[in-house]
Amino acid sequence: MRVFTYRRISRVTERTTSIERQGEHCAAECDRRGWKMIDDFADEGVSGATDPEDRPAMSKMLARLDEVDAIVFYKLDRLSRSTLAFAELMERCKKAGVALVSCTEPLDLSSPMGVAMAEIIAVFAKLERAMIRERSMDARRKGLETNKFVGGRFPYGLTPAPHPSGKGRVLVRDADAVKVIRRMAALVVSGHSASAIARMLNEDKVPTSRQQGATAKRAGGHESRDTSWRGNAVRAILRNQVQLGYRTGKNDRPETGADGMPLIVWEPVLTWEEWEAVQVAIDTTEVTRTQRHDAHWLQGVTRCGVCDARLTQTVTHGHKGLKCSRPNEQRHKPAPFIRADDLDEWVNERMTTVYGRMRVIENVWRPGSDNRQERLAVAVAIKAMRADREAGLYRGTEDEAEFRDRMSALLARRDVLDTTPETEPHWETRDTGRTFGDVWESSTLRARAALLANAGLVVRVEPAGGKRLPVGERACIEPEDPAAAELAAITADMENEASMPPRRAPLTEEQHEEIRQDLLDDIARQEGL
């Protein structure tokens, strides 16, 4: 009788179950029965829960079932720990006319009793695996309760350290990563995009999350592959609530305490005000169209004098310039085109002379009050608790008592917050105390464009009509929204008039007559002299 022998082990736990010992038992069983061993298959480092077709050695063995009469193995759980997988394997071997023989169990699948015994053994193997999994999950839960690091990836900004108890590890703040996160937050609030921040980090050779140790393997001496910062990684780090000190659980919801409020597990990297400013800044930069790196510095602040469309960089007859950005089928004629060098020289001259005394302003983000954010957190916690109760997660007297206590605490906190005034987050313009003449020459081209944009100014260019006109005759620097600027000027004039002394009221007829009589008396007196 020709047979295959099969061995499998996931890890070395006992000497009696080692892959070598399994081979010795299988060879002895073949000798005892007088069977001829055709080939030996061994899957080392493979779990018994793995599907047979996904095991390298077993998949090859199953493809050659027509060559043998039986498969000899050490123990049933070496074949499979899943009842369904074992049943499918048993049915496949039955159709191929191949018997399954165990060296240590009374298993003979050629008889009905042997099949029944095999199914019973498989059930107990599955039970054993479920018990092991339950013990592992219980150990994981207890580890989380004591803030132990139970393995897997951990967020950027944290790093493993020995647990205070001396057993296991705990996640603590990574001082170097915290500096990087705060730098990211400052840059994104100041108007830099996530992609631009990633480029800065790469230029400064700042280690990425993988290189810093984003996986548990890193703590075991595993060297991460070379990688680079990406804009998506920057956004993900700044949006992670771990920067507020929270530890998130299922559905990325922060873990809450007895009062229903999120638990502060680690020292926050960002305050609520900073967190909100960062989120608003990310949302703003994500919807803002970014310029190409080689785009002309005035491209974002120049407008067509006919249709008010942006001017984009182009090359015409060998000259680099700016033209109306409308598509060809929508472009009007004549359309403005102006040489880039001529426009650069004119704008720089105007901004240092005519607008040299104009004050430079900047946009500053004013975050809302803490109460607004805390009110949102309380509302989310109340909604989550009510949803959990409707889902039937609170059962029994103890659960209901816990629900009432936590809900009462949340409602009381909400009442306190409702009586506290809040400040809506908003952008404000702030006078820097400097003039365009002070900062223009020392600023980069991109910074000059930002100065114009912050001041609400644009360069409007009219068509030349086929003539080579001076830039000053077809271009002007004016407010981006002339109507709004005119309204502001009228409002200012009205305010100035209101501050002037009031005009005198018109004279009455009696006053006119009295003045006339005084004049006549003066004339008669003069004639008498």
Residue-wise pLDDT for 409-428, tens only, equals: 888 888 888 887 766 666 67
Q: Are residues 480 and 445 in the same domain?
A: yes
Q: What is the 3-state secondary structure (H, E, C) of 390-457?
A: HCCCCCHHHHHHHHHHHHHHHHHHHHHHHCCCCCCCEEEEEEEEEEHHHHCCCCCHHHHHHHHHHCCE
236 and 316 inside one domain:
no
Picking from 34-48, 91-105, 357-371, which range would have the lowest pLDDT averaged per residue?
357-371
Cα distance between residue 186 and residue 70, in whole Å: 70
Give the best-scoring range by mean pLDDT among 9-13, 374-378, 447-451.
447-451
42 and 100 inside one domain = yes
What is the side-by-side order of every strand in the sheet holding 36-44? 36-44, 2-9, 70-73, 99-102
Task: Report d(CA 467, CA 460) in Å as an integer.
Answer: 18
Residue 84 belongs to some domain of the structure: yes
Give the span between the Cα atoms of 419 and 421, in whole angstroms.
Answer: 6
Could you say which of 240, 266, 287 is where a domain stops?
287
* CA–CA separation, 516 and 165 (whole Å): 107
Q: Does the structure show a pLDDT above 60 at 219?
A: no
- Identify the pLDDT of residue 451: 83
Q: 270 — phi, psi (to 5°)?
A: -120, 145
Residue 346: what pLDDT? Answer: 92
**Residue 516 forms part of a structural domain:** no
CATH assignment at residue 244: 3.90.1750.20
Q: Are residues 400 and 445 in the same domain?
A: no
Averaged confidence pLDDT in the chain = 77
> How does pLDDT run across 286-321, given as a tens digit for each residue?
544 445 556 788 888 898 888 888 888 888 777 888
Quick check: 13 pLDDT over 80? no
Q: Give the integer Cα–Cα distance in Å for 261 and 413.
A: 10
Non-local (6+) Cβ contacts of 509 within 8 A are: none
- Scored b (16 or more CB within 10 A) or e, 124-155 reads ebbeebeeeeeeeeeeeeebeeeebbeeeebb
- Do 13 and 66 lie in a common domain? yes
- 149 found inside a domain: no
Tell me, yes or no, whether 418 and 433 share the same domain: no
Q: Which residues contact 289 (CB under 8 A, 6 or more apart)?
A: none
What are the residues whose beta carbons fall under 8 Å from the beta carbon of 409, sequence distance 6 or more? 258, 259, 260
221 dihedral zone (left: phi>0; alpha: psi -120 to 50; beta): left
Asked if residues 72 and 103 have their Cβ atoms less than 8 Å apart, the reply is yes
pLDDT at 498: 41
Shared domain check, 321 and 282? no
- Whole-number Å distance between alpha carbons of 458 and 429: 18
Look at residue 445 and tell me whether its pLDDT is greater than 70.
yes
Nearest to 279 by CA among 248, 229, 247, 240: 240
Greatest mean pLDDT among 120-124, 199-203, 327-331 lies in 199-203
Contact 323, 297 (CB under 8 A): no
The answer as to whether 510 is a domain residue is no
Low-confidence winner among 34-43, 336-345, 354-363 (lowest mean pLDDT)? 354-363
**What is the CATH classification number for the domain harbouring 120?**
3.40.50.1390
In a domain, 216, yes or no: yes
pLDDT at residue 78 tops 50:
yes
Residue 440: HSE in the Cβ half-sphere, 13 Å Cα cutoff: 19
- Please give the DSSP secondary-structure letter assigned to residue 191: T
Higher pLDDT, 227 or 506: 227
Measured CA to CA, the distance from residue 156 to residue 144 in angstroms comes to: 19
Tell whether 355 and 477 lie within a shared domain. yes
Looking at the structure, tell me whether residues 48 and 171 fall in a common domain.
Answer: no
Give CA–CA dist 38/66, Å, rounded. Answer: 12
Using the 3D structure, point to which of 287, 318, 343 is the last residue of a domain: 287
Residue type for position 474? R
Residue 174 and residue 195 in one domain: yes
As given in the structure block, the two tokens for residue 478 are 């004016």
Whole-model pTM: value is: 0.40
Q: 130 and 241 share a domain? A: no
Does a structural domain hold residue 511? no
Q: How many other CB atoms are found less than 10 A from the CB of residue 398? A: 9
Q: How many domains does the chain have?
A: 4
Please, which residues bridge with residue 319 across strands?
316
Q: Which residues pair with 76 in a beta bridge?
A: none
Range of the domain at 110: 2-134
Calculate ∠ Cα 430-436-441, nearest 5°.
130
At residue 143, the pLDDT reads 64
Residues 276 and 316 in one domain: no
Confidence of residue 516 (pLDDT cuts 50, 70, 90): low
Question: CB 251: neighbour CB atoms within 10 A?
Answer: 6
Token representation of residue 464: 């030349």
Name the residue type at position 467: K
Q: What are the tokens at 346?
A: 């004119």
pLDDT of residue 16: 46
**Token match 């165990």: residue?**
102
Specify if 34 maps to a domain.
Answer: yes
Q: Which residue has better confidence, 492 or 452?
A: 452
Is residue 501 one of the residues assigned to a domain? Answer: no
